[in-house]
A and B are shown apart, each in its own frame.
Chain A
Amino acid sequence: GENVEQHPSTLSVQEGDSAVIKCTYSDSASNYFPWYKQELGKGPQLIIDIRSNVGEKKDQRIAVTLNKTAKHFSLHITETQPEDSAVYFCAANRDDKIIFGKGTRLHILP
């Protein structure tokens, strides 16, 4: 079955700097890769996703890249702000389900 590995588990960056979170997946049949942001006490919020027919997608300060050959995908946040502090989850589909990574806790330092 699908296995999604995510790293780092914790990331601290200075406000204004960039943050990068990386994930790998195991199932070559996966073709949908969403990213979720979860704040304390709330459910995960979809922030961006990418499908296997594209290699990169950008939405304002957030971008995702996908390398299907290597089974890698990454989240890039530029010009980080205090409100970016949260736990971020990558995920990949397996059949009709979504399999999540274990999450990255992002701290934005003032």
Chain B
Amino acid sequence: DTGVSQDPRHKITKRGQNVTFRCDPISEHNRLYWYRQTLGQGPEFLTYFQNEAQLEKSRLLSDRFSAERPKGSFSTLEIQRTEQGDSAMYLCASSFSVYNEQYFGPGTRLTVT
């Protein structure tokens, strides 16, 4: 396992469509984080999991967003009824514990037209 992977790398969708992104963390990491990054900004925290439990969600995560991590392995982030304001880079990161370093994947760039 060489690192965190994300799929797809790019997604173009029309407003109103649903999209789903996948993140595969480093295999021994029990924590998984989702961030959103817009142009010229740092990553903004969205939500995180410890194993399969979703422990916190940011107020940035509207009810159109949902994340899952079945069986504590890979995670999915779904956005329903996409809006143009959802256009951003969605980053996933994983860590071994709360005290350890977070390692990021390459991100999924979403463009909503």
Contacts and interface: CB of A to CB of B under 8 A. Distances in A.
B2 interface: no
B42 A102 contact: yes
B42 A96 contact: no
Size band of the B side of the interface?
Answer: 20 to 34
A97 interface: yes
A100 B91 contact: no
Nearest to B43: A100
Interface in A51-110: 89, 91, 95-103
Contacts of B4: 43
A11 to B, nearest CB: 15
A45 B106 CA distance: 9
Size band of the A side of the interface?
Answer: 20 to 34
Nearest to A98: B102
Given A44-B91, A96-B48, A97-B56, A103 B41 contact: yes
Contacts of A98: 33, 45, 102
A101 B102 contact: no
Interface string B35-62: 0000011111100100000011000000
B102 to A, nearest CB: 6
Nearest to B89: A43
Nearest to B6: A43
B43 A44 contact: yes
5 contacts: A34-B101, A42-B107, A96-B55, A97-B33, A102-B40
Interface of B: 4, 31, 33, 40-45, 48, 55-56, 91, 93, 98-99, 101-107
